[in-house]
Structure 1
Amino acid sequence: MKITDSRPGAPCWVELSSKDPLAARTFYHELFGWRAEVVPDEKAMGYTRLYLGDQLVAGLVGLMQPDQPTAWNISFHSPDVDATAAAVTEAGGALVVGPMDALGWGRFAVARDPGGAIFSAWQPGTLRGCDVINEPGALGWVELATRDPNGAVAFYRRVFGWTVTTGEMYTQFGLDGRDFGGMMDMADQFPAEVPPYWMPYFAVADVDLSAERAALLGATVTLPPTDVPDGPRLAVLRDAQGAAFGIHVAYAEN
């Protein structure tokens, strides 16, 4: 990821909603070396912060609804969540959870874009977001899978002001020319029952070794280690509970 700070509009936080948080803690500790700390406040309902050394990299929470899937959620930095929520609805999206305060950590909203992909907006309080980005074991890229690429471009440009770079095979999102994510056209590549989604990629030192390690820990390798033209080597996985995520070699900063 070329953006390494939590500037407005950039991805700033990732959070795993899991049906078995203890198992998830073990899996990601073994894979990325993350250290888990459960927030002691009872109001936090067991919310767990995940650290790479002393640097905060992600959050972990149990499922809030019976029909909620185990999945990663990506948050984008907003200086004013209420304004972002209004922009979401004005641009044709919908609010899943309206703007709310989170224990002084910040203010957030959960939204659905017009194509159906879920994401969050985060207005930092005491929790500004990830302490580190694009280092082995930390968030390095985010990717939208959608069946309406043109609609997605228009929506996210309006809501977050992203720049868009369209290549022959892939579209990239950024801010002021510094890219942090991309978009994949689901087209006929996915069964009709698979909804559009956002997925995080975590940077690693060695994609092949990390994919092999993940499989030994119970993950499914849905895309084996692959070299992307003009891009990094990457793989896509599902953890033992079904949460999809990618891994890639950390980008060299320009």
Structure 2
Amino acid sequence: MLSSRFAAGAPVWVDMCAPDLDGVSAFYRELFGWELQRGGEEVGGYSQFRLSGGTAAGAMAMPAEEAAPAWTLYFRTPDADATAKQVEQAGGSTLHGVVDVLDLGRMAGFTDPAGVPFSVWQQGQIKGLDVLNEPGGLVWTELYTPDASAATSFYGSVFGWQTTAMESPAGTYTMVHPADGTPDDMFGGIASLDDDPAESEAYWLPYFQVDDCDGAVAKVRREGGTVRMDTVEMAGVGRFAKFADPAGARFAVLQPAPPGEPMAS
């Protein structure tokens, strides 16, 4: 489960880019209740999706020829420069080097050995997202990759993640948590592309919490998004579905199972 403790290696931020922020912000307002707060020149126009006075996600207008619309996850690092070296040593690549964001923090962007983009955040004035594990907030993360074992090794080298394997008829699902945490601090999973016919490309998928998964599916269809996978129910986990927003950025939603419900075996 995501935690505002923001341990090293845990997700701390998520943002998206799209050519038309006004268009996608209307979509997310209907779906999650987010309001777009435009950023000023001092942050290069970087904006935030706000919910009940807190930040739920970041957003940036980006021409389609410069970057395909997508969501990007940020993981906490105590030292962005050291992490950049670890990424290179582990076989990843640098998309953009470490930069200072005023006094808010330091960031850098990378790709893992399978070419999946991700970013890191070194805390300054901003520690991370305000809205987590509640409707409209980030609640889970998932990596789809051609080689789950290689991905687990890479991210383990970079962030020190600890893992727990869960077997299912579809294959092995590897759940991860920070090095200084326990399985109760699991924040994501790593799945092989071969085990999920609905996925054909390696990428990180953010999940946002909802109260009503079926209602979210209906809203996505009504507001011009794409339902990539209709509602699936899993005992002990909840109900979830996968979407793409009107610009094409992929994300998912989760309606958590009631507390105490046993997981499917």
Q: TM above 0.5, one fold?
A: yes
| TM-score interval for Structure 1 and Structure 2 normalised by the shorter chain | over 0.9
1:1-254 matches, cutoff 5 A: 1-40=1-40, 42-63=41-62, 66-169=65-168, 170-175=173-178, 176=181, 177=183, 178-187=185-194, 189=196, 194-250=200-256
Change (3 A) 1:2 1:67: closer
Output the CA distance in 1 between the equivalents of 2:16 and 2:122. Answer: 19
Percent sequence identity over aligned pairs: 37
Output the CA distance in 1 between the equivalents of 2:211 and 2:237. Answer: 15
Change (3 A) 1:78 1:163: same
Measured against aligned partners, the alpha-carbon deviations of 1:24-67 in whole angstroms (never above 9, x if no partner) come to 11111111001221123x13232111111101111110116724
Alpha-carbon shift at residue 204 of structure 1 (Å): 0.6
Q: Which amino acid aligns with 1:181?
A: G
Q: Which amino acid aligns with 1:172?
A: M
Alpha-carbon shift at residue 85 of structure 1 (Å): 0.8
Output the CA distance in 2 between the equivalents of 1:34 and 1:132. Answer: 11
TM-score normalised over the length of structure 2: 0.89
Q: Which amino acid aligns with 1:180?
A: F
Comparing 209-218 and 60-69, the one that deviates more: 60-69
| C-alpha RMSD of the superposition | 2.0
Output the CA distance in 2 between the equivalents of 1:209 and 1:58. Answer: 21
Unaligned runs of 5+ in 1: none
CA contact (8 A) 1:134 1:251 kept: no
Alpha-carbon shift at residue 252 of structure 1 (Å): 6.4
Measured against aligned partners, the alpha-carbon deviations of 1:72-108 in whole angstroms (never above 9, x if no partner) come to 0000011111111111111111111111112322111
Q: Which amino acid aligns with 1:171?
A: T
Give the count of matched residue pairs: 252
Task: Give the secondary structure class of the aligned counterpart of 2:187.
Answer: strand
Output the CA distance in 2 between the equivalents of 1:187 and 1:147. Answer: 7
CA contact (8 A) 1:74 1:198 kept: yes
Measured against aligned partners, the alpha-carbon deviations of 1:145-193 in whole angstroms (never above 9, x if no partner) come to 000111001011111111111111321111222200001211275699x
Output the CA distance in 1 between the equivalents of 2:9 and 2:20. Answer: 31
TM-score normalised over the length of structure 1: 0.93
Measured against aligned partners, the alpha-carbon deviations of 1:101-159 in whole angstroms (never above 9, x if no partner) come to 12322111101111111100001212221012110100000100000111001011111
CA contact (8 A) 1:13 1:74 kept: yes
Q: Which amino acid aligns with 1:212?
A: A
Q: Which amino acid aligns with 1:51?
A: R
Change (3 A) 1:78 1:207: same
Output the CA distance in 2 between the equivalents of 1:253 and 1:16. Answer: 31
Q: Which amino acid aligns with 2:202?
A: P
CA contact (8 A) 1:134 1:250 kept: no
